[in-house]
Chain A
């Protein structure tokens, strides 16, 4: 049992090293030799623009739920005036970056892993190599760069709509005071909170996109599943591993920021 544990630990360390090397070399190629603004903007459209409706919808409803729950909790202590502060802080510091990242992984990350996996299985990646085009620079680098740009913007959209969602339930539906709500938002939110949220969004974007691309890129090396099943497993692994990574790294980043 101990030897199994040791073997698995070593494999995990090896995989971590492979992912890190894969990500760094992809980024290095993309920002230096093979940089293409066209490819990055195309990926910003795929990762960023296409996810806006989902982020907006979930952000607004998350804010609405926070507003409702927060109001009923705070009113017990006669502190409903703190609703704006509570919603703004919880969204900007935690819920905004984390939920945005999980949603984008679900929508864009899984399709990213599947798309690259299919390209691997249909020899499109081999074709790039024979054309002397680095597949990492062509497929992976632009996606990581696009994610680094898109995630903070999507998080901002989530945060703003979440706060408006909280305003809707806390003020309009529950007849709270609008002035107190916005004053709470303005007073409680510090630049450090906003900055911290962006740091998280930036890290989540880079990490999750890297994991999704890695899963798709090496889909042919999976010993447990081949072909279409291998691609489907890559997409599933991409979402599961990315979601776990988001939550674990969220704790680590938060402990550094506080």
Chain B
């Protein structure tokens, strides 16, 4: 199968994932539009990160399909297709997952030095270019992740995710642990680079309403299912937007959460 391109959507059909007796994903259906920013929001423990991990191949769903270019990637017979799919996919972890014993240069260069036969000088050149594009200083290349700030670590992790020029980038709560100013900087940066590079961006977050500003599509995951999918604007047209459940919560989302969304939209 050719490597992922920007033209094709990723379709999730009836994904189920269970841990012991706890069913985390209970039949997730979702269409991730190509070249767009899709954000999955929802309370903690609703299976957002599990969904990303199922998509990235870090976890295998118990049931359901991940369809790309007409191929079901969860089918064990399509392992080669899945491998090719992953070559065009990058994952940015919640806590960056940078190698603390490697320098920033070695971290960013890792996917190229391990998976390609490019000469060292070419790899160094590409890393330096990427660092420039992400507005990082060249002087940090010789430093270790622990020697740079949290915001810089985020950008280094983003540089590592983008160095292979992926077509799909998955972000797992990219602003965890950052202050509100830095959060907005990271979101602004993600949107800017998504537009510049044109990749498909799928993000998990609960930063409401900040993520609504940069998202083309919103999916609300609650109790293992996608309860809403659409543009941020279409949230307003969903009337009544969120009927409360027996606990007075809306799709499992507390009222302040709903208020925040509505405050943003009105």
Residues of A near any B CB (own CB < 8 A): 34, 115, 119, 122-124, 126-127, 129-133, 138
Inter-subunit contact B111/A133 (CB<8 Å): yes
Inter-subunit contact A133/B58 (CB<8 Å): no
Kindly list chain B residues whose C-beta atoms are within 8 Å of the C-beta of A115. Answer: 101
B180 at interface, CB cutoff 8 A: no
Those of B60-87 within 8 Å (CB) of chain A = 83, 86-87
Give which listed residue, A124, A129, A138, contacts B57 with CB less than 8 A: A129
- Shortest CB–CB separation between residue B213 and chain A, in angstroms? 27
- Shortest CB–CB separation between residue A27 and chain B, in angstroms? 18
List the 8 closest A-B pairs by CB distance, nearest first. Answer: A127-B97, A130-B91, A123-B97, A131-B111, A133-B114, A123-B93, A124-B97, A130-B56
Given contacts A122-B95, A126-B91, A133-B110, 10 further A-B contacts (CB under 8 A): A34-B114, A122-B97, A123-B94, A123-B97, A124-B97, A130-B90, A131-B114, A131-B164, A133-B111, A133-B114
Inter-subunit contact B111/A126 (CB<8 Å): no
Q: Give B163's nearest chain A residue, CB to CB.
A: A131
Kindly list chain B residues whose C-beta atoms are within 8 Å of the C-beta of A123. Answer: 93-95, 97
- Shortest CB–CB separation between residue B117 and chain A, in angstroms? 12
Among the interface residues A122, A123, A131, which one has the most CB atoms of the partner chain B within 10 A?
Answer: A131
Inter-subunit contact B93/A126 (CB<8 Å): yes
Residues of B near any A CB (own CB < 8 A): 56-58, 83, 86-87, 89-91, 93-95, 97-101, 110-111, 114-115, 164
Q: Give B53's nearest chain A residue, CB to CB.
A: A126
- Shortest CB–CB separation between residue B156 and chain A, in angstroms? 12
Inter-subunit contact B58/A130 (CB<8 Å): yes
Give which listed residue, A119, A124, A130, contacts B89 with CB less than 8 A: A130
A122–B101 CA distance with the chains assembled, in angstroms: 13
- Shortest CB–CB separation between residue B94 and chain A, in angstroms? 8
Inter-subunit contact A124/B110 (CB<8 Å): no
Instruction: With A122-B95, A122-B97, A123-B95 as known contacts, state yes or no: A130 contacts B86, CB within 8 Å.
Output: yes
Instruction: With A131-B110, A132-B83 as known contacts, state yes or no: A126 contacts B97, CB within 8 Å.
Output: yes
Interface of A is mostly: helix
Q: Give A39's nearest chain B residue, CB to CB.
A: B114
Give which listed residue, A34, A124, A130, A132, contacts B99 with CB less than 8 A: A124
Instruction: With A123-B93, A126-B58 as known contacts, state yes or no: A131 contacts B99, CB within 8 Å.
Output: no
Show 6 residue pairs from A and B whose CB-CB distance is below 8 angstroms, ordered by the A residue: A119-B99, A126-B97, A127-B99, A129-B58, A130-B86, A130-B90
Among the interface residues A34, A115, A126, A127, which one has the most CB atoms of the partner chain B within 10 A?
Answer: A127
Inter-subunit contact A132/B91 (CB<8 Å): no
A131–B100 CA distance with the chains assembled, in angstroms: 17
A126–B93 CA distance with the chains assembled, in angstroms: 9
Inter-subunit contact B114/A127 (CB<8 Å): no
A18–B230 CA distance with the chains assembled, in angstroms: 46
- Shortest CB–CB separation between residue B241 and chain A, in angstroms? 35
Inter-subunit contact A132/B97 (CB<8 Å): no
Q: Give B164's nearest chain A residue, CB to CB.
A: A131
A130–B55 CA distance with the chains assembled, in angstroms: 11
Q: Give A34's nearest chain B residue, CB to CB.
A: B114
Among the interface residues A115, A119, A130, A133, which one has the most CB atoms of the partner chain B within 10 A?
Answer: A130
Instruction: With A126-B58, A138-B114 as known contacts, state yes or no: A132 contacts B93, CB within 8 Å.
Output: no
- Shortest CB–CB separation between residue B5 and chain A, in angstroms? 18
Inter-subunit contact A127/B91 (CB<8 Å): yes
A139–B39 CA distance with the chains assembled, in angstroms: 34
Q: Give B83's nearest chain A residue, CB to CB.
A: A132
- Shortest CB–CB separation between residue A209 and chain B, in angstroms? 18
Among the interface residues B93, B97, B101, which one has the most CB atoms of the partner chain A within 10 A?
Answer: B97
A25–B140 CA distance with the chains assembled, in angstroms: 36
Give which listed residue, B94, B95, B115, contacts A133 with CB less than 8 A: B115
A130–B169 CA distance with the chains assembled, in angstroms: 11
Inter-subunit contact B95/A132 (CB<8 Å): no
Kindly list chain A residues whose C-beta atoms are within 8 Å of the C-beta of B101. Answer: 115
Q: Give B59's nearest chain A residue, CB to CB.
A: A126
Give which listed residue, A119, A122, A124, A132, contacts B86 with CB less than 8 A: A132
Q: Give A123's nearest chain B residue, CB to CB.
A: B97
A123–B58 CA distance with the chains assembled, in angstroms: 11
- Shortest CB–CB separation between residue A31 and chain B, in angstroms? 16
Kindly list chain B residues whose C-beta atoms are within 8 Å of the C-beta of A132. Answer: 83, 86-87, 111, 115
Q: Give B94's nearest chain A residue, CB to CB.
A: A123
A130–B111 CA distance with the chains assembled, in angstroms: 10
Kindly list chain B residues whose C-beta atoms are within 8 Å of the C-beta of A130. Answer: 56-58, 86, 89-91
Q: Give A130's nearest chain B residue, CB to CB.
A: B91
- Shortest CB–CB separation between residue B103 and chain A, in angstroms? 14
Kindly list chain A residues whose C-beta atoms are within 8 Å of the C-beta of B98. Answer: 124
